[in-house]
Amino acid sequence: MKIKIIALGKIKEKYIKNGIDEFLKRLSPYAAITILEVSPMEIKDNSLIQKALEQEGEKILSNIKPTDFVITMEIKGREFSSEEFASKLEELTNLGTQEVVFVIGSSNGIGQNVSQRANLKMSMSRMTFLHEFARLILIEQIYRAFKIIKGEVYHK
């Protein structure tokens, strides 16, 4: 299975980048993962947030194929345990899904156009995380899911 993570913005903190790189290395035997960083729109006036989200959404959607299974990270999305998340990824694999695309928006969220394209809206937690942390946590959970699916030691 191919996995693509589309995220707004770049990782600035070296320690987070190192963590992401470590989990990407660990994931390489299980799945082909790519990360696409999309530049967020500069918002100078809060009244323009929705317009900016829609414009960011167009950039995001241009990198999604009609056959992709899209999972958006949204505050009001469904929360999963690690085991449930693993089951979902395994189900998608068994259904022959070619590529799963995760979308992590900006601090303002994601555009309605992207949310409407989602096959699944997922929340990591009811807590709020820095977007850089969200990317690291997502990649670690994808790794954990594959370890669970394969019955390998990691998840406790």
Residue 100 lies in a domain: yes
| CA dihedral sign, ordered 50, 65, 97, 150 | negative
Q: Are 43 and 52 spatial neighbours (Cβ–Cβ below 8 Å)?
A: yes
- 136-154 tens-digit pLDDT: 999 999 999 999 999 998 8
Q: Whole domain around residue 78: which residue ranges?
A: 2-40+65-150
- 31-89 tens-digit pLDDT: 999 999 998 877 777 777 888 899 999 999 999 999 999 999 998 999 999 999 999 99
Residue 49 lies in a domain: no
- Give me the count of residues in the chain: 156
Residue 156 lies in a domain: no
Q: Are 31 and 101 spatial neighbours (Cβ–Cβ below 8 Å)?
A: no
pLDDT of residue 155: 62
Residue 99 lies in a domain: yes
How many domains is the chain partitioned into structurally?
Answer: 1
CATH number of residue 28's parent domain: 3.40.1280.10
Structure tokens at 83: 């085991």
Residue 54 lies in a domain: no
Residue 145 lies in a domain: yes
